[in-house]
Amino acid sequence: MQTSRLDRSPVAVWWRTIDRWFLAAFLTLMGLGVVLSFAASPAVAERIGLDSFHFATRQIIYMIPALAAMLAVSFLTPRQVRRMAIIMLGVFLLLMVAVLFVGVEVKGAHRWVSFAGISVQPSEFLKPAFVIVCAWLFAEKARNPAIPGNVLAMLLLCVVVSLLVLQPDLGQTILTTSTWGVMFFMAGMPWFWIIAIGSLAVVGAFGAYVTFDHFAGRIDRFLTGEGDSYQVDMAHDALLNGKWLGVGPGEGLYKKMIPDSHADFVFAVAGEEYGLIMCFLIMALFAFVVLRGLNTALKEHDDFTRYAVAGLVCVFGFQSIINMGVNLQMMPAKGMTLPFISYGGSSLIAIAISMGMVLALTRKKPTRLMQSGTAMLARHALPAE
């Protein structure tokens, strides 16, 4: 797509200012999500009596609004991203409270709320809003020490963590707390506070271990290898069966035995059918997004943009690490989707919004664009010799 430097239409300006490497990585991951959905989901659909391509078709349907949301959000200015996040935070905090009373119960947890037959997981949409608002609070504290931004960010963390624990969703709690910790560290907080909050996190993890039997069971199974770890064992065997080049598209055997092969264990299906080379490619794409995001944040002069971009890519990276780590038996079992690739409407659209925010915040600044345009006009205005 080529546009003239003198073209000032919104799409032309967007194309000149967007980080095309980020855009290419996100579109590639979305494409892989569709391909792997066709590979992993038919066995699951047939097992529960649905049409073979039921989940694959729905994944494509979810992908359309996700792509639209990502591109639409990428047109926003940093101020508009912040305003959007504040509205999202208010709406989804209310829905997080509503989930506790009217939420759909799945395996003993209340994480979903249903509207007109459409199920939504509020915590997925809360994450990007939480990151943006905390980044703003940290930045406001740095700009004006009189503003209690850090205290407000801590209080917001306590509210979000409390709601997640009540569901309970300890995986999202760990993910959210870890991301907040990275942003807190980047904001230049004193070591006293970092050590104090780190100690509280350790105490909280121990409290979760002694309070929640399912959490303790997963930790014990991971450490001892004893107990029911069927899905994780099957995922591990699937990766071993695929070796370097895989058994071929559609030829995987273990996906027929893994109940969540289209969701939490799609990475194992990719490894079995397309080989470890495909797994390394997927890992490289996630690593590229995280490292490019952190590098961009490091070079950014605006505190809000720096904290926000770093926080968003950390959520993206931590979530992918947890998913792939479980598939590789390197972490205790935890149901968490692989961004852009696992099946799931709420997760897919929420991640698309998050990465749309990254695209919006990493666009070239208007000052650079104006300087470039001024230089172009000056060259055109010079008289011919």
Closest by Cα among 374, 363, 366, 364 to 6: 374
Give domain status of residue 249, yes or no: yes
Residue 385 has pLDDT above 50, yes or no: no
The answer as to whether 26 is a domain residue is no
Q: How many domains does the chain have?
A: 1
pLDDT in tens, 220-256: 888 887 767 788 889 989 999 999 999 998 888 888 8
pLDDT of residue 148: 92
In a domain, 251, yes or no: yes
Containing structural domain, residue 105: 78-293+300-339
- Give me the pLDDT at residue 1, please: 59
At 384, the pLDDT band (50, 70, 90 cuts) reads: very low
For the sheet containing 118-120, what is the strand order?
A: 104-106, 109-115, 118-120
Does residue 216 have a pLDDT over 90? no
46's tokens: 């047939």
Residue 377 confidence (pLDDT) = 47
* Residue (of 314, 271, 296, 294) closest to 365 by Cα position: 296
- Return the biggest CA–CA distance within the chain: 84
CA separation for the pair 318, 298 (Å, rounded)? 19
pLDDT of residue 110: 79
- Does residue 28 carry a pLDDT above 80? yes
Distance CA 218, CA 283 (A): 25
Q: What is the reported pLDDT for 204?
A: 85
Q: How many CB atoms lie within 10 A of CB 352?
A: 26
Q: Provide the pLDDT confidence category of residue 4 given band limits of 50, 70 and 90.
A: low
Residue 20, in any domain of the structure: no
pLDDT in tens, 300-346: 999 999 999 999 999 999 999 999 999 998 888 887 899 999 998 88
- pLDDT over 50 at 81, yes or no: yes
- Among 5-19, 131-145, 292-306, the least confident range: 5-19
Output the pLDDT for position 382. 47
Identify which of 286, 282, 297 has the alpha carbon closest to the alpha carbon of residue 358. Answer: 297
- Residues 265 and 231 sit within 8 Å (Cβ to Cβ): yes
In a domain, 240, yes or no: yes
| Mean pLDDT, rounded, of the chain | 88
Give the percent of the chain with pLDDT over 70: 92
Structure tokens at 204: 């909280």
Lowest mean pLDDT among 84-98, 127-141, 176-190, 357-371: 357-371
Burial class (CB in 10 A: 0-12, 13-18, 19+), 75: middle
Determine how β-strand 109-115 pairs with β-strand 104-106.
antiparallel
Contact partners, residue 108, CB within 8 Å, separation at least 6: 214
- DSSP H/E element including 115: strand 109-115
* Cβ atoms of 127 and 337 closer than 8 Å: no
279, HSE (Cβ side, Cα atoms, 13 Å): 27
366 domain-assigned: no
